Structure 1
Amino acid sequence: MLELRPTCEHCNQALPPASSAARICSYECTFCATCVATVLANVCPNCGGGFMPRPVRPAHNWKNGNCIEQHPATAKITHKPVDPAAHTQFAAQLKTIPPERR
């Protein structure tokens, strides 16, 4: 189950569970859409993968207790700002390769 991390790892912007601005890689590294587009060039600084919009957990218990109330988001903040110069070098070799082929 996704942790639904509360903030962008780079800029620390709040990304509440229902945020449409949250982006995750396949390892659940979490960044805001702005950082993914302007700083990261859609290259995860932790694994080199691409990003997708993070799903939103249902707010209501529509079926079998599968909702944010029964399965809350984590409160643990992961704040690891990216070194823009180092990431630019790292991303240069990957950003032209589609994420599904990395």
Structure 2
Amino acid sequence: MYRKEIKKEVTIEDIIQELEQNSLNREQVQRKEYHKNEQIAEDYGRVILLKQGYIVKFMHVKKQERAIGFYAGEALVDFDRVFVSKEENQFVLKSA
């Protein structure tokens, strides 16, 4: 489950792990909900905007959607080249 905000008990690593677990299933990411059916994500094509400024970018790698960037506001939070083998990674565009 994605978090509305980073609280003391939730680390960046926790959020990244959650993104990794869901990165191949875009429908699941788009429809991620928080308490009381409050939707915290909006789909804009290949960019998912999460409230509180989190942005996840997706692209196709060998016919699969992969997360390629995770941002908080303007800054890249902790991963850029993600979840792909070295062979696949040569085709992944790095986020600016």
State TM-score, norm by structure 2.
0.27
State TM-score, norm by structure 1.
0.26
> Which has the greater radius of gyration?
1
Task: Compare the two structures and name the one with the higher strand fraction.
Answer: 2
Structure of higher RCO (CA pairs closer than 8 Å, 6+ residues apart): 1
Task: Compare the two structures and name the one with the higher helix fraction.
Answer: 2
